[in-house]
Amino acid sequence: MVSLHESHTDIILKGGRDVQFGHKLNLCTGTSGLVTDITIERGNPADQSRLLPMLGRHRHLFGAVPEAVATDGGYATNDNYHGAKSMGVITVAFDKMARLNVEDQISNNWLYRELRRFRAGIEANISYLKRCFRLARILWKGWRNFQSSVYLSVFTHNLIVWARSG
């Protein structure tokens, strides 16, 4: 147990960075900037183990996997690349290659650059969610309230993105 007041709190280790406390979130967004799916992880699962389940969730929610996927380097493995391709994803672009050549992933360098730019935009969305919707530190007490705060923050973010688009 990490916290006497918040027993659901987990220890998060990310590479060589400082230890953090809380929960990992996995966000999926579309080209519109809307968050299309979010999972709140329990424990400290490796990012590498989360890509294929997230693609499966996407297929369940929307009836198909996306044509193109852009992720950060934590998801980059040969198994994830080949697993995503076998699920029907046409283009997979990892931010860091993890022993994968760009030419092996994408035959078109322009498309690879566009997907990396898209992923950089997702980082801006994450920063926006942390700063403006207080996802960096959630003060609601209890696991269910924590989840509610995350989902309401994402819902509000999506409303604002949707309102600005029209």
Percent of the chain with pLDDT over 90: 30
Q: pTM of the predicted model, to two decimals?
A: 0.80
Residue 1 counted as domain residue: no
CA dihedral 42, 138, 128, 95 (to 10 degrees): -20
Residue 3 counted as domain residue: no
Dihedrals phi, psi of 74, to nearest 5 degrees? -65, -25
Looking up residue 89, the CATH number of its domain turns out to be 3.30.420
Structure tokens at 18: 């400082």
Residues 6+ apart with CB under 8 A from 95: 70, 71, 72, 73, 76, 116, 119
In whole angstroms, give the CA distance from residue 141 to residue 8: 10
Tally Cβ neighbours within 10 Å of residue 35: 21
**DSSP bridge partners of 158:** none
Query: Is residue 96 within 8 Å of 73, Cβ to Cβ?
Result: yes
Q: What are 104-122's pLDDT values in tens digits?
A: 667 677 888 888 888 888 8
For the segment 23-35, the average pLDDT, to the nearest whole number, is 87
For the segment 129-135, the average pLDDT, to the nearest whole number, is 87
Domain that holds residue 62: 10-165
**DSSP bridge partners of 35:** 29
Residue 30 counted as domain residue: yes
Q: What are 53-68's pLDDT values in tens digits?
A: 999 999 999 999 999 9
**Confidence grade of residue 101 (pLDDT, cut at 50, 70, 90):** low
Tally Cβ neighbours within 10 Å of residue 75: 25
Residue 5 counted as domain residue: no
Total domains, the chain? 1
Predicted local confidence at residue 9, as pLDDT: 66
For the segment 10-35, the average pLDDT, to the nearest whole number, is 78
Residue 45 counted as domain residue: yes
